[in-house]
Structure 1
Amino acid sequence: MQSYTTCKHPSIKKRGIISNPSAMLSAMHTRLFPKLKARYTVLIYMVGSDLETNYEMASGDIREMMEVGSSWGIHIVLETGGAKKWGLDFIPSDRKCRWLVQCGHLQLLQETGNANMDMAETLGDFITWGIQQYPAENYVLILWGHGLGPIDGFGGDELHGNHKMKLVTLQNALQRAYQVTQTTFRIIGFDACNMAGLEIVYALRHYAEYLVASVDYTNHNGWDYKTIIESLRQMPALTAPKLGEIIVNSYRLHSREHGELQDLQQGVIRLDKAERIVHALEAWSQVLLERIASEDSFDLMRHDRTRCEDYAEETDMVDLVDLSGHFGRSFGCMQETHTIQEAIEDAVIYHMKTPEHPKAKGISIYFPKQDQGRFIEKSMIYQHHDFSVSYKKLIDLYSLIMIKKDYNGIYHHMK
């Protein structure tokens, strides 16, 4: 087994040897870790993508992890891949690697070839291996990379076409791992943009207790891994909701330290509440399906959509509480709207936002607005989701009508 040790002088690195007693003790811990049941095992799936190749964002976060590292009771296990170049020169770009994060260095555990990190098999294998090799009372999965919501998904492996992992693929990866391990996570977190959509919440409901994610962009500094790991080490009895709060609050402070003062959002969502929200959404959508066929109703729906708080033009995500409120008032379904809003309030147990997002409540949903050239394509992808049947029909019909309107706004009736 190789080790990579960073010596006291930051420009000196030694490969393949252990250069001091603390590193030797760390190596002994590494050999013993898999035999001990820790309090927490944190699995970090890091799809470096162009975020690493061009900006070294992943390397920056790894340096934060190495400021603290694993301990007897906390396993920090990392998989790297998907970038053409890594800022940390001991991380190879031509193959995936699995590491145990230690204080001051990474311990290489396994090299696993050059499989596509945007594939279900790759993520599922990492999760299965990590759970089996590093048993713990509690597991956390952090997914690091690009986030483009429920349509275009997560990841972005540069070495395999940068296609991203669709939501169905992500769900398949978690299902594959669960079938082998019969283990779920306390938290699944996205250090990525736009991944707090209801579609994602619903897709992950069987595999974790909580989701930590943002409805909007995530700043270039990403999560504060030093604070997260320090908190786990100092408070080994930390509960998942409290850990979620620490992730959210430390991200806010970390962003401000890096000069990022706006567009800050993160939330902690109870996944066992997902079915209640989707059940309410189903009833709400059925009312709207009855209204959308007329030209006046469609135009009103389209107008209301422009008034809602939304995020990232390429994702066409909108705050669900705000959307449901506008449509509820316009189409006489306020009872169904209140049911949605109460369910979301119950599910989002912690939410941080800056003043530019006054209406945000922590859960978004896809509804077409900006990306007109892809409305039909996106609707076709959307129909494959495990989600509300009536809402999927609403998205499909709305997308078709949007395309059938010409540039002058003349309505063409559906045949």
Structure 2
Amino acid sequence: MKSKMILFFVSFVMLFSACRNEDEPTLPAYGSRTVLIYMMAQNSLSPFARLDMEEMIKGMKQVDATSNNLLVYIDDYSAPRLVRLGKNSKGQVVEEVVANYPEQNSTDVAVMKKVISTAFNTYKAESYGMGFWSHGEGWIPSPAKTRWFGQDGNDYMNIDDLHEALQVAPKLDFLLFDACFMESVEVAYALRDCGDYMISSPTEIPGVGAPYEDVVPAMFTAGNPTMKIVSAYYTYYENRYNDGVGLTNENWTGGVSVGVAKMSELENLAAATAKILPKYVTGKTDFDLSGVMCYDRRYLALYHDLDQYIYKLTAGNSDYDAWKAAFDKVMVYWKSTPRNYSAYVGMFTMDSKAKGLSTYIPMTNRESTNTSYRDTGWYKASGWADTGWYK
């Protein structure tokens, strides 16, 4: 799957609160946590959007909606809208329309900035988080885009554009990508100043995406919710794993892979990598990738395990040990079922030694992709410019 206000004036409310319909939700002026989920569903994933919204509603039954705010921006084949999942006086979870929008390109930076600003400025809180729901490509060659998340019709969002849009957001505790291939070092490095942790998968994710009935309550746990979120995500699919036997979207037995990157440690990892690549990548020849986990089961094979690549480059010597210390501070969580499902090849084995953070590795038959790679922040910071590939 995901492999491409109404504003109540205070004086009015105070004056006429006795006349308010009892089914209207209570809107906190200031909350403990506000989470915005940005759903770009005007694509092949549209049928799943409503199902995931229903899961979110179920999840909110366990959340104190008087001090927490779950906002969902959804752009499917109906008019785009921003809603809050609150509770009415009977304790029922209700969808309150915060804002309606005309048909718009939800991958556009200005559009995303407007939605983010509306959500977080209207529902201020002590802490914040964001979820991103759509197709995803951590790295892909394209004339118009290189790295992208989110598909709205025929439009895609470059990761650099996503970074720009997130500059209007407050400090985020977490960024959850409910999309394929996003746990890549290139993506994490590009978004390193946008949040504390990035939760995502280095490979394809289940067709039905995150189990929001379990993930939503985890988003609103006290303290740092990141580990509760990723644990809820993984445990749901681990409990249903059966090596793909009888697999359907309603009965996902095909497993899952998910990891957490600590964003504040990515610059140290880039510096450590810059001590490795120029030293060991001395010529422009294809690297033997046998023994290096490939998370991408398409013919493109664009995503390989970063840790295994560095280990093989260095033969696991003391240079690797120093690098691995920096890597371990980035990847603070990684779990996978023994096998995962790919829409392209079916079930495939996950190398038990893989560490969950992917990277792009240049190849001689990918000249356009190699050239595009120069535009990434990771390329510039990790030493690739000083290797035999790019000199």
Q: Is TM-score (shorter-chain normalized) higher than 0.5? A: yes
1:246 equivalent in alignment to 2:237: no
Q: 2-side partners of 1:307 and 1:280: how far apart?
A: 22
- Structure 2 counterpart of 1:387: 378
Q: 2-side partners of 1:354 and 1:283: how far apart?
A: 33
1:42 equivalent in alignment to 2:35: yes
Once the two structures are superposed, what CA deviation does each residue of 1:331-374 show, in whole Å capped at 9, x if it has no partner?
A: xx83332233222222222211112321221211112469x4xx
Q: 2-side partners of 1:112 and 1:339: how far apart?
A: 51
1:236-315 matches, within 5 Å, as: 237-253=222-238, 256=241, 258-289=250-281, 291-293=282-284, 298-299=285-286, 301=287, 303=288, 305-312=289-296, 313=298, 314=300
Q: 2-side partners of 1:188 and 1:68: how far apart?
A: 19
- Structure 2 counterpart of 1:328: 314
User: What is the Cα-based RMSD across aligned positions, in Å?
Assistant: 2.7
**Paired residues of 2:307 and 2:324 also in contact (CA < 8 A):** yes
The counterpart of 1:222, out of the listed 183, 200, 209, is 209
The counterpart of 1:171, out of the listed 155, 163, 174, is 163
Asked which structure has the greater RCO (Cα within 8 Å, sep 6+), the reply is: 2
Task: From the superposition, tell whether residues 328 and 239 of structure 1 become closer, same or farther in structure 2 (CA, over 3 Å).
Answer: same
1:147 alignment partner AA: G
- Structure 2 counterpart of 1:366: 360
Task: From the superposition, tell whether residues 26 and 266 of structure 1 become closer, same or farther in structure 2 (CA, over 3 Å).
Answer: farther
Q: 1-side partners of 2:295 and 2:109: how far apart?
A: 27
Quote how far apart the aligned CAs of 1:396 are: 9.3
Once the two structures are superposed, what CA deviation does each residue of 1:229-267 show, in whole Å capped at 9, x if it has no partner?
A: 23456x4x2423333343433442476494433451111
**Paired residues of 1:79 and 1:97 also in contact (CA < 8 A):** yes
1:100 alignment partner AA: R
Task: From the superposition, tell whether residues 315 and 184 of structure 1 become closer, same or farther in structure 2 (CA, over 3 Å).
Answer: farther
Task: From the superposition, tell whether residues 104 and 58 of structure 1 become closer, same or farther in structure 2 (CA, over 3 Å).
Answer: same
The counterpart of 2:149, out of the listed 149, 154, 174, is 154
- Structure 1 counterpart of 2:333: 350
Once the two structures are superposed, what CA deviation does each residue of 1:142-171 show, in whole Å capped at 9, x if it has no partner?
A: 00001111344110101xx23x21111111
1:320 alignment partner AA: L
**Paired residues of 1:379 and 1:396 also in contact (CA < 8 A):** no
Once the two structures are superposed, what CA deviation does each residue of 1:384-413 show, in whole Å capped at 9, x if it has no partner?
A: 222242544378937xxxxxxxxxxxxxxx
Task: From the superposition, tell whether residues 232 and 215 of structure 1 become closer, same or farther in structure 2 (CA, over 3 Å).
Answer: closer
**Paired residues of 1:148 and 1:315 also in contact (CA < 8 A):** no
- Structure 2 counterpart of 1:101: 85
Deviation larger for 192-201 or 313-322 = 313-322
Task: From the superposition, tell whether residues 377 and 125 of structure 1 become closer, same or farther in structure 2 (CA, over 3 Å).
Answer: farther
1:75 equivalent in alignment to 2:69: yes
**Aligned residues: percent identity?**
20
1:123 equivalent in alignment to 2:108: no
The alignment partner of 1:156 has SS state of strand
- Structure 2 counterpart of 1:339: 322
The counterpart of 1:211, out of the listed 190, 195, 198, is 198
The counterpart of 2:180, out of the listed 183, 186, 193, is 193
**Paired residues of 2:35 and 2:129 also in contact (CA < 8 A):** yes
The alignment partner of 2:45 has SS state of helix
1:360 alignment partner AA: A
- Structure 2 counterpart of 1:61: 52
Q: 2-side partners of 1:342 and 1:209: how far apart?
A: 19
**Paired residues of 2:269 and 2:326 also in contact (CA < 8 A):** yes
The alignment partner of 1:67 has SS state of helix
1:308 alignment partner AA: V
Structure 1 gap segments, 5+ residues each: 3-22, 86-91, 399-413
1:218 alignment partner AA: I
**Paired residues of 2:234 and 2:256 also in contact (CA < 8 A):** no
- Structure 1 counterpart of 2:343: none
The structure with the greater share of residues assigned to helix is 1
1:319 equivalent in alignment to 2:305: yes
Once the two structures are superposed, what CA deviation does each residue of 1:292-350 show, in whole Å capped at 9, x if it has no partner?
A: 15xxxx25x2x2x2431011234601110111111112xxx833322332222222222
1:246 alignment partner AA: S
Q: 1-side partners of 2:161 and 2:67: how far apart?
A: 32
TM-score where L is the length of structure 2? 0.78
Q: 2-side partners of 1:392 and 1:167: how far apart?
A: 20
Quote how far apart the aligned CAs of 1:49 are: 3.5
1:344 alignment partner AA: F
Quote how far apart the aligned CAs of 1:26 are: 5.3
Structure 2 gap segments, 5+ residues each: 7-19, 87-91, 141-146, 242-248, 339-348
Task: From the superposition, tell whether residues 244 and 67 of structure 1 become closer, same or farther in structure 2 (CA, over 3 Å).
Answer: closer
**Paired residues of 2:279 and 2:387 also in contact (CA < 8 A):** no
The alignment partner of 1:275 has SS state of helix
Q: 1-side partners of 2:149 and 2:305: how far apart?
A: 20
